[in-house]
Every structure is written in structure tokens, then in C-alpha cells.
Amino acid sequence: MKAYTYENTLTNIPRFDDTLHVSQKYGYGYETDTHFVHLYGKEELFIISNGLTVLEGKNGTHFDWIKNRFGATNIEEMELEAGNTIEGIWRPALYNFDDTDKGININNSELRSQEQALRVLIEKLDEILLYIEPSSEGLESYSHKIRELLILAATEVENQWRVLLNRANEKPINGSTFTTQDYVKTLPFTFVEEFEVSLKHYSLFKPAKPFSGWNSANPTKSLKWYDSYNKTKHNRDRHFDEAKLKYAIDAVAANIALYCTRFGILRLLHDTTILTGLFKQIFDISMVNSDRKTFYIPELEIPKNTRKNCFVFDCYLSKYNKPWTLNKLKL
């Protein structure tokens, strides 16, 4: 069933807080055979508030309902129908670990392996930051230790790209080895350009947006940290000065963004692992200009004889959510 996203400008729910749309700016809705469904969503990290779901028996059109009840404006059709996800790609509305694991079919051993790899990168960056401040001058500094981290982090990014390409059954464009001509094809489907990574204790550090400006017309040079990795890896004598701290930070941030794409942002913020503690000690992360049309919306299993008047329906713990329908990743 088609789902829609829109902006809420009023709250017209009987005997309920009529200012809810101020804190819950966005709406996501669809219609079942018997009811209209509306889910509220916050702007912060674009989390969909599954516990604030509104139902009402069908009467008239769905568009009229969302306009009359929620003042819906800027209505857009979502890319996937309610209850659908893309295997291996996290999007908001997968709001806890169990829901995420089932919703995108996470392989536990793959998750743990990637957590270990990311932990190593963050620990190495943390060690470097003991000696070099990420100031405007410090970010331009280069060394063998920074080069080591840049190469390791960029190599791990390549590994994550290959996982995604293999999952989509993609073959290299030229020869038997993937290159940035292949890697860049993942950009529209991983949403990595939405993630912005900050160093928590360095207020002057400009947040890293490692995939900003990446494009298929120039897939290597438009990714400056990756281009620098290539240069200093293959010709250190000539390009040693490309192993700069700013590029190493970008490469680590790129791994963080890809980790979030593959396993969800919540694990870095709310899990109890060593990685979570380390990440929260050093970084802040946010999502910027997210495309809400690409979010996942749960399809409800509405119990028989559910009342027809407008009311807030308890949807916590995925109690009434149907199992997700997983779609294969296609680039």
C-alpha cells in the first residue's frame, strides 16, 4: 500500500495535546482496508515516533484526512510501500536493535567483524589526537602514523563498498577489480552523504562530511581523502604530504557513515559495546537533509473490531507491526 510523508501544521485529535505538531514536525501515513494511519516523526535524527500513531476509520479520502487532522503540507509519495525495506540498508523507522536486525536482515558475525574494524580505526585516531590538535594548522600535518591510519581506513571503506556491490550482484565495469567507477554507484542507495561526523571535544573542528561532492563524473578526485590515499599509498616519496590528518579523519568518518548505512545509527548511540562507549567519547553524529521519502514505514496489523473514532494507537515494541517485506538491493 502506498505511503506518504508530509509536514504537520496542526494537531486535531480529540482530547489530545493540540501542539504536538510543534515537536513532531513530520507525518507519515497510509490507508488500510478499514483505517487511515498516521505516524508522527521528529526532526532530530529523523526518528519516527512509532508510539505516537493515530488511527481513524476510513471516511472520505486519505488526503483529506491528513489535511484535516494534521494540516498536512508538502505531501510526497514515499519510495517504498508501507512494510517494505531494502535488505542491508538502514533507514529511520527501524527504531530498535531487534527491529533493525529483522528489518534489513543483519548478519551477526558480519556486524561483529565490522564493529571490530571500526573500533581499531577509532582507537588509532584517538591515539593520534593525543599528539596533534585538529586545529586549522594541525589538520594539515602529515606523518607516517597518519599515513598508516589513512591507508587502513580507506582500505576498510573499499571493503564495505565491495560488500554492498556484491550484495547487489554487481560486477566490475572494467576487468575483475572494482574501482571508484563501481563504488560510486552505491551513493544514491546508501545515503552516506546525509551523515555528518563531529569531534566532540574540538569545537573549532568543522564537522566531517566525507562523501560530500562525490560524483560519477570524477569518482576518484571528487573524493579528496580517497584520492590522497591513492597517491600516498602508491607513491609515498612523491606524495607523502598527502597523508594529512584531515584526510585520515575523513576516511574514519566515511567508515562511520557506511557502518550506519549497513547496521543503523542507533548501535553507535545506544548499545553497550566497547565500540559504542568509544564512539560516544570522541564523536557526535547527525543526519543532515535526509530524504524522508526513503524512510521505512511499518505496516500495522490492525486488530479486528478496532474502534473507528480518531485516537492514538499504542504501537510500542512493534506489537502490532507486520513482519517487514525485504527487497533485494539493486543499484
For residue 328, CA distances in Å to 101, 102, 168, 206, 320 come to 15, 14, 7, 36, 25
Q: Quote the pTM value.
A: 0.94
* Contacts of the segment 135-141: beta carbons below 8 A, 24+ positions apart: 135/204, 136/204, 138/245, 139/244, 139/245, 139/246, 139/249, 140/244, 140/245, 140/246, 141/244, 141/245
Residue type, 73: T
> Rounded mean pLDDT of 86-91?
96
User: In whole angstroms, what is the distance from residue 268 CA to residue 266 CA?
Assistant: 5
Residue 138: what pLDDT? Answer: 96
98-133 pLDDT tens trace:
889 999 999 999 999 999 999 999 999 999 999 999
For residue 193, CA distances in Å to 9, 212, 282, 312 come to 28, 6, 21, 35
Q: What value does the mean pLDDT of the chain take?
A: 94
Residue 44 burial (CB count, 10 A): 10
202, pLDDT greater than 70: yes
321, pLDDT greater than 90: no
195, pLDDT greater than 90: yes
User: For the chain, what percent of residues have pLDDT higher than 90?
Assistant: 86
Residue 190: what pLDDT? Answer: 95
Rounded to the nearest 5 degrees, what angle is found at the Cα of 114, between the Cα atoms of 94 and 156? 120
Residue 315: what pLDDT? Answer: 57
